[in-house]
Amino acid sequence: MNIVVCVKHVPDAQADRTFNESDNTVDREGVDGLLSELDEYAVEEALKLAEATSGEVTVVTIGPERAADALKKALQMGADKAVHVCDDAIHGSDAPATSLVLAEAIKKATDGSPQLVITGMASTDGTMGVVPAMLAERLGLPQVTYASELTLDGEKLTIRRDNDASVETIEASLPALVSVTDQINEPRYPSFKGIMAAKKKPVETWTLADLGVDAGQVGLDNSWTKVVEFAKRPPREKGEIIKDEGDGGTKLAEFLANRKFL
């Protein structure tokens, strides 16, 4: 089975993330980037399924040149090959445009018939968590998302989905689109052997033209939403900090009473 995993290169959450003043897009140049942590779970789950079914894992990303680092990490973990969709016209694309390009890349990578597509639950920068559902819609695949447990029995997929107020069991047949949460597995670290092997693995770079996507359908100017303004939240005013000298709990209750919480 050929499994496709979609991954994203994101600004490191530990760094000072910000926006570009010029066009209100996420600053992807001034901040160190890495494979989105939530995508590591998708790569891991794909590797496990591929190992169990003698399958193959293809990782796909969209992004500027440096996004290749995310693919490299996935290849080091054990993915077999990678596709990098890289085109200046994509800069500033919103989720619908991103899902359009990804859907076309997935089709091209699988000769038009994907069997299993796996994604993370959300990116750690945009955090919308909507691209998996959009991909299912665009690819016409059953949507099997937010899996915290997954079993594949022949063609039958079963997942556990944790909602706000309930836990659901979802079933679907392949081909399907799956997104996984951070509860599903423990992603492996790349081994030395994996790091060396990754250097020889094939990485294809595709442009919009390769995918047959018109540049007029993507990018900031063709986005279906726009950021009007962004503002750094003013730092919270430093509050009162006391050392507990035996009456810390009482003082805490006093604070809450003064703020009318009691």
Partner 1 sequence: MGEVLILVDHVDGKLRKATAELLTIARRLGEPSAVHIGPGAEAAKVTLAKYGAHKVYVFEDEAALSHLVAPQAEVLAAVVAKTNPVAVLIPSNTAGKEIAARLAIKAESGLITDAIDVQAGEGGPVTTQSAFAGGFTVKSQVTKGAAIITVKPNSAAIEPAPADLAAETVDLTLSDLATSSTITERKPKEKSGRPELTDAQIVVSGGRGTGGDFSPVEEFADSLGAAVGASRAAVDAGWYPHGNQVGQTGKQVSPQLYVAAGISGAIQHRAGMQTSKTIVAINKDEEAPIFELVDFGVVGDLFNVLPQATAEVKKRKG
Q: Which is nearer to partner 1, 130 or 197 (CB)?
A: 130
| Residues forming a β-bridge with 178 | 118, 144
What interhelical angle do 131-139 and 95-109 show, nearest 10?
Answer: 50
CB of 158 to partner 1, least distance (A): 8
- Give the tokens for residue 59: 């990782």
CB of 4 to partner 1, least distance (A): 18
CB of 103 to partner 1, least distance (A): 10
Report the distance separating Cα 182 and Cα 149, nearest Å. 10
- Name the CA dihedral angle for 191, 192, 196, 197, rounded to a multiple of 10 degrees: -30
CB of 33 to partner 1, least distance (A): 14
CB of 11 to partner 1, least distance (A): 8
Closest C-alpha among 237, 211, 239, 246 to residue 98: 211
Report the distance separating Cα 202 and Cα 207, nearest Å. 17
CB of 259 to partner 1, least distance (A): 6
- Give the tokens for residue 173: 């047949």
Strands 156-162 and 81-85: unpaired
Q: Which is nearer to partner 1, 54 or 246 (CB)?
A: 246
The answer to whether 151 touches 37, Cβ cutoff 8 Å, is no
Beta-carbon-side half-sphere exposure of residue 54 (alpha carbons within 13 Å): 0
Q: Which is nearer to partner 1, 41 or 206 (CB)?
A: 41
- Give the tokens for residue 198: 């990754």
CB of 72 to partner 1, least distance (A): 24
Report the distance separating Cα 147 and Cα 180, nearest Å. 5
Q: Which is nearer to partner 1, 189 or 230 (CB)?
A: 230
Q: Which is nearer to partner 1, 207 or 222 (CB)?
A: 222
Amino acid at 186: E
Q: Which is nearer to partner 1, 56 or 137 (CB)?
A: 137
Q: Which is nearer to partner 1, 82 or 101 (CB)?
A: 101
